[in-house]
Each structure stands twice: as C-alpha cells, then as structure tokens.
Chains A and B, each alone.
Chain A
Amino acid sequence: MAQTDITSSERDGMGPHGTKVGLLRVLGPAHVWALGVGIVLVGEYMGWNFAVGKGGAYAALMACWFAGILYSCVAMIDSEVTSTVAAAGGQYTQAKHIVGPLMAFNVGLYLVFAYTMLEAANAITAGYLVSVVATMTGYGGALDQRPFIILVIMFLAWLNYRGVLATLTFNLVITSIAFIAIIVLFLSTSGIIGDGIMQHAALFEGHEKPYGWIGIVAAMHFGLWFYLGIEGTTQAAEEVRSPARALPFGTLAGIMTLLIAATLTWYICSGVLPWEFLGDGVNGSVAPLFDTARLSGSNALIWFLGIGTLFATLASANGCINDASRAWFALGRDKYLPAWFGAVHPQYRTPYRSIVFLVPIALIFALGAPLDQVITFSILSGLLGYTFMPLNILMFRKKWPMGTIKRGYEHPFHPIPAIVLLCLCAFTFFAVFLGYGTQLVAMIGFYIVVSLWFHFWRYRFVNRGAQFTMPWPKPLGY
C-alpha cells in the first residue's frame, strides 16, 4: 500500500467540512507546551494533596510516580496518533477515525466535562486565594468569594473569545512564572540557598502508612491530579503551524516538566506541612505550596507563591476553556451536537458559540459543588478517556500498520505502553471506588444513558461518510 503523507503543515483541518472560515494556524511548540503545562500545573498548586489525605505522604509519592508512568504512556500514545490527526477535537477526532462515532461522542463528552470541571475547580481556588489575600491585608470579615469566581470565568472566556494566539501567549507567560515559583521555593526551603526548613523524618514519624497498603492504592485517585490535562495539547492540532513537529515536541516536553514539578512539589510540601493538614484540601491546606511559603518566614516567598498560585489557576482555567470549547465545537461541526456550535467567529477565528455556551455550565459547578467533588468529576472523566487510549492505539496500529501512513512521531515499545496504561487505569478505577464509588457508578450510568440517546436518536442527523475527514487510506479489515 502506498504511504500517505497526512502530516503536512499546509493541510487545513477545516477544509473537509466545507466551512468557509477555519481556525487560525498561528501556534508553535512553545504554545503547545504552555497549553498542556498551563492546564496541569495548577495540580501542583492545589488538589494533589488530597492524595496525602487518602493514604499519607509516602502513599502520595507513590501515587505521584505511578500516575507519572500512566501519563507518560498517555503522552507517548497521544503524540503518535495526534501527529497524524491534525484536527480540532483531539482524542474525539482520533476516536471518530479509528474506533467509531459512538466512542467519539463519548470521548468528546469526557473532554468537555474533564476540562469544564477543572475550570470550575480553578475558579474556586482563585476565589479562595483572593479571600486569603484579603485576610492577610487586614480585611476582618468573611469575604464572599463568588464574585471573584464569576469574574475569573468570565474574563478568561472573553480572552478565549478574542483569539487563540493572545490566549496561549498569555498562558505561556503566566505558566512560566508559576513554574519558576516552584523552583524558587524548592531552592529556598531545601537548604540549597540559605537555611533549609525540611523536616521529613520528624514529620513522617509515626505516620508513615496511616491507612496501611490500602491507603497507597486509594491515593492513586488523586495522584492523577498531578498531571491531569496534559493530553489537552492535542486540542491545538488545528491551530499549530506544524502539527507533526509541534504536537509531539510540546506534549513530551510538557510531561517531562510536570514530572519534575510534581516530585519537587511533593518534596517541598511534605517536608514542611503535617500530613493531616496537608491532606485535607477543604478544611486544611487548600493551596499547599502557598501554605509552605507561609511557614518559610519569608514575605517575598509568600507573595511569589501567592502570585504563582493565582497564575497557575488562571493558566489552567484559560487552557480548560480553550480545550473544552474545541471539543464542543468539534462535536457540533460533525452534528453530533446541534451544528450551531460548529461555527467559527468571522473576525477572531475562534469557536465563539461553544466558548460562550460552556460559561454557565462551568459556573453551575464552580458555585454549586465542593472542591473535592468537582475534582473527582474531572478525574473520572479523564480516567474514562485514558481507558479509551490503549484501545485507540491498538486499533490504530492494526487498521493502519507502520508504513501505511506517515506518522509525525512513532512511539517506541508498542504495545507495552498501551498494556501498562490499561493496567494503571484499572488500578485507578479501584482507587476511585474506595470512597467515591457512588459518583463512579452515577457517572458511568450517565454515559450509558447518553450513549443510548446518541445511538438511537441523535446519530440519525449525522452524515456517514463525511465524518471521515482525514486523507487516510481505507483501514485494513474493512
């Protein structure tokens, strides 16, 4: 079979859909890195510490590294498939071309809900941070956080509405500052610069495994939060100048950055904060890096980490709006949802209707649900998506074996990453089951109902052959 080059940077993903105006191809690898790391880095600033509460500090470290392996597999698999599927929608578009429409519909919803919930969690944290700053600067009352939550979501939605280049350049700057803040805190508190304040041995004494081995399993649930969202780099596929180069480079550089940031974060926080306080992200440490800075005794560090936390939440919410809207837009463009959502703004070249529509959805969750529940909803949607990925790559390699189409990146050791990813997903499902089983079953029940709704009702409005927009040869076995 002749090899087809589908990685050309000149191909416009909008073309096959017959729309007159496409998304702008203006992004480079640094923007891809900023999108992926920007979404995720907030996970080091808040949320990961629930893993400490689930099993203790050592359990959180193990969860950090096992989740790191899980996400390394995700990044490898995603990089290969995305380097050939240069269209908005990311994993949704992959599923549509490789597995089938119903899987694609589900994957699209996973993406929208994972990112919208994450956006809500970010807005909650930003509101909390403003209230802490108000207290630190002398405000005596209880600050109402809701106006700040609404302001964060509305401002970032407006930024996304106005254009992707400004949005992700903004992300690049504030994500870099947030990452540097973690490095500075590590250098300042670990003894490399000045006196160290780490007391790991004394703080762990008597609390090494507070729940035993079951706690180490349970911690894996929130271990995902260290990295959740790195797969969002694929959403930029239709807006990067060179998808085959920029997407693998940005994604793999992103996961390496996060592995460093996650381990440093665990080291810094667990060496300063008692595990019970660190592990309670609602009544204890909402923002652990910030709390660590507070105990450092340095006002400069307190302000720098306060700014880092705020920037991390803004960068993440910003990236989430970008990604959720692209997934929703892609669903609309294929008529999986009403085609009205598939419109591109004639001037700003953004999926503006999808951006606006998802604002009230994010607000419902940001204003109506507690932080750990919002995080759990986001993790569950992400986890369902990660379980899809090994199936996706196995079918991709089977239907289009090596040599049949040109890949921008080929991940090594296939199928080991797929098998490892599948096993770690099963492990994490069990971890979620320990404490959040009702939410898990409720959410899967929801996906079963909407799947039946899609298959027996919605799919009648979808064109059949026109869904397949990639210039690939016919898959083997069909």
Chain B
Amino acid sequence: MAHYTPPAQSKLGQIIDVIVLVTLTVGALFAPLWLNLAGAAKTVATPVENPTWEALGQNAVQAGQYEALGYTPESAHDLILARFDYSFTSGALIVMIVVIVAYYALLLKFSESEYREVISEKFGKK
C-alpha cells in the first residue's frame, strides 16, 4: 500500500471535533434523564394505612434494626414496600439484542478494513 499522508487539521476543526464528541456524550447520557426515560424507579403497589412493623412484614429483629437506624413504621413505609417492576416485552428484548449485535458487527467490520490498511502500510508485502 502506498504511504498515506493525512491532511493537516486546522485548530478550529480540532475544537469543533471535541465539541461534537462532548455534546454527543452529554446528550446520550442525560437525554434519558431529561425525558424521564431513565428506568429503575421503584413504586409501592399496595400502600398500608396506619402501618405497623408486622403489617410491613418485619419480624422483631428486623424492626429492631430499623428502629436503631432511626426509622418508624411510617417513615420506613415506602423504603420497605417499594419494588421494581421487571416485566418486559419480547419485542423490547429483541430490539436490545439486535442493537448490541449490530453494534459489535459494525465495529468488527469497519475495524477489519482499517486494520488491513495499517498492517499493509506497516509491514508491506513481507
């Protein structure tokens, strides 16, 4: 392969590249938060009125530890009863699998073509 000489990049171009990368990063990581799509929120399915430790499903030892931590049945109500919802659809699972597999396939395919150029220029036809 003939030796490849990369073009010189202007300072402005370098700054723009960094801004693009940082913007994409912040956007990707904060977008789910801003759109309230960040999952894993816990909810209390069945609240207990006038809660007691027994009604919250706590035995004497468990109740004793909560009290040692400064909780009462009322203040510990949401902490004890809130649960995650792990239900999902098969469609969502398939989308996730396709996205992950497609991503790695893209990486390996493009990397291979770039790598062949690198090896060809580094080692020639030896």
Q: Decide whether A and B are members of one complex.
A: yes
**A387 nearest in chain B by CB position:** B104
- Whether A295 is near chain B, meaning CB under 8 Å from some CB there, is yes
Q: Which residues from chain A contact B24 at a C-beta distance below 8 Å?
A: 446, 449-450, 453
**Number of CB contacts from chain A to chain B under 8 A:** 207
Beta-carbon contact of B122 and A274 below 8 Å = no
User: Within the complex, which residue of B17, B40, B68 is in contact with A337, where a contact is CB–CB below 8 Å?
Assistant: B17
Q: Which residues from chain A contact B107 at a C-beta distance below 8 Å?
A: 102-103, 106, 451
Interface membership of chain B positions 112-124, coded 1 if the CB is closer than 8 angstroms to chain A and 0 otherwise? 1111111111110
A376 to B38, CA, bound (A): 10
* Interface set, chain B 24-65, CB cutoff 8 A to A: 24-33, 37-40, 42, 57-62, 65
Beta-carbon contact of A462 and B79 below 8 Å = no
**B28 nearest in chain A by CB position:** A446
Q: Which residues from chain A contact B119 at a C-beta distance below 8 Å?
A: 468, 474-475, 478
Q: Which residues from chain B contact A210 at a C-beta distance below 8 Å?
A: 83
User: Within the complex, which residue of B17, B79, B103 is in contact with A448, where a contact is CB–CB below 8 Å?
Assistant: B103
**B115 nearest in chain A by CB position:** A100
Q: Which residues from chain B contact A478 at a C-beta distance below 8 Å?
A: 116, 119-120, 123
Q: Which residues from chain A contact B68 at a C-beta distance below 8 Å?
A: 295
User: Within the complex, which residue of B21, B78, B114, B116 is in contact with A102, where a contact is CB–CB below 8 Å?
Assistant: B114
Beta-carbon contact of A435 and B40 below 8 Å = yes
User: Within the complex, which residue of B39, B65, B83, B84 is in contact with A438, where a contact is CB–CB below 8 Å?
Assistant: B39
The smallest beta-carbon distance between B58 and chain A, in angstroms, is 7
Beta-carbon contact of B123 and A435 below 8 Å = no
Q: Which residues from chain A contact B7 at a C-beta distance below 8 Å?
A: 460-461
Main DSSP-derived SS at the A contact region: helix
Beta-carbon contact of A205 and B96 below 8 Å = no
Given A365-B29, A368-B30, A463-B6: A441 and B99 interface contact (C-beta under 8 Å): yes
Beta-carbon contact of A462 and B6 below 8 Å = yes
A373 to B41, CA, bound (A): 11
* Interface set, chain A 440-474, CB cutoff 8 A to B: 440-451, 453, 455, 458-465, 467-468, 474
Q: Which residues from chain A contact B117 at a C-beta distance below 8 Å?
A: 464
Given A273-B65, A274-B58, A439-B39: A433 and B118 interface contact (C-beta under 8 Å): no
A283 to B80, CA, bound (A): 11
A373 to B28, CA, bound (A): 13
**A376 nearest in chain B by CB position:** B40
Beta-carbon contact of B62 and A433 below 8 Å = no
A262 to B117, CA, bound (A): 45
User: Within the complex, which residue of B20, B29, B112 is in contact with A369, where a contact is CB–CB below 8 Å?
Assistant: B29
- Whether A196 is near chain B, meaning CB under 8 Å from some CB there, is no
Q: Which residues from chain B contact A429 at a C-beta distance below 8 Å?
A: 96, 100
User: Within the complex, which residue of B95, B102, B108, B120 is in contact with A103, where a contact is CB–CB below 8 Å?
Assistant: B108
Q: Which residues from chain B contact A465 at a C-beta distance below 8 Å?
A: 3-4, 118, 120-122
User: Within the complex, which residue of A340, A373, A446, A461 is in contact with B25, where a contact is CB–CB below 8 Å?
Assistant: A446
- Which of A102, A335, A337, A364 has its CB near the most chain B CB atoms (within 10 A)? A102
A274 to B71, CA, bound (A): 12
Given A369-B33, A436-B40: A100 and B118 interface contact (C-beta under 8 Å): yes
A54 to B84, CA, bound (A): 7
Given A377-B29, A443-B29, A460-B7: A101 and B118 interface contact (C-beta under 8 Å): yes
Beta-carbon contact of B111 and A99 below 8 Å = yes
Q: Which residues from chain A contact B111 at a C-beta distance below 8 Å?
A: 99-104
Interface membership of chain A positions 309-346, coded 1 if the CB is closer than 8 angstroms to chain B and 0 otherwise? 00000000000000000000000000101111000000
Q: Which residues from chain A contact B1 at a C-beta distance below 8 Å?
A: 464
| Number of residues of chain B lying within 8 A (CB) of chain A | 75
Q: Which residues from chain B contact A474 at a C-beta distance below 8 Å?
A: 119, 122-123, 126
A468 to B22, CA, bound (A): 27
Beta-carbon contact of B93 and A433 below 8 Å = yes
A456 to B55, CA, bound (A): 61
Q: Which residues from chain A contact B78 at a C-beta distance below 8 Å?
A: 283
- Whether A410 is near chain B, meaning CB under 8 Å from some CB there, is no
Q: Which residues from chain A contact B99 at a C-beta distance below 8 Å?
A: 441, 444-445
Q: Which residues from chain B contact A335 at a C-beta distance below 8 Å?
A: 6
Beta-carbon contact of B33 and A295 below 8 Å = no
A429 to B88, CA, bound (A): 14
Given A277-B79, A465-B122: A434 and B88 interface contact (C-beta under 8 Å): yes
Q: Which residues from chain A contact B30 at a C-beta distance below 8 Å?
A: 368-369
User: Within the complex, which residue of B61, B88, B121, B122 is in contact with A202, where a contact is CB–CB below 8 Å?
Assistant: B61
Interface membership of chain B positions 75-102, coded 1 if the CB is closer than 8 angstroms to chain A and 0 otherwise? 0101110111010100011011001101
Given A99-B115, A445-B28: A272 and B65 interface contact (C-beta under 8 Å): yes
**B114 nearest in chain A by CB position:** A101
The smallest beta-carbon distance between A189 and chain B, in angstroms, is 13
Beta-carbon contact of A338 and B86 below 8 Å = no
**A340 nearest in chain B by CB position:** B14
Beta-carbon contact of A206 and B115 below 8 Å = no
Residues of A at under 8 Å CB distance from B? 53-54, 99-104, 106, 113, 199, 202-203, 205-207, 210-211, 214-215, 218, 272-274, 276-277, 280, 283-284, 291, 294-295, 335, 337-340, 361, 364-365, 368-369, 372-373, 376-377, 387, 391, 429-430, 433-451, 453, 455, 458-465, 467-468, 474-475, 478
| Apart from A102-B114, A464-B117, 18 more pairs, CB < 8 Å | A100-B114, A100-B115, A202-B61, A202-B62, A206-B57, A283-B79, A338-B15, A338-B18, A433-B93, A435-B86, A438-B37, A446-B27, A451-B106, A455-B110, A463-B4, A463-B6, A464-B1, A474-B123
6 A/B residue pairs, CB under 8 Å, sorted by A = A274-B58, A291-B69, A369-B30, A438-B37, A441-B95, A442-B28
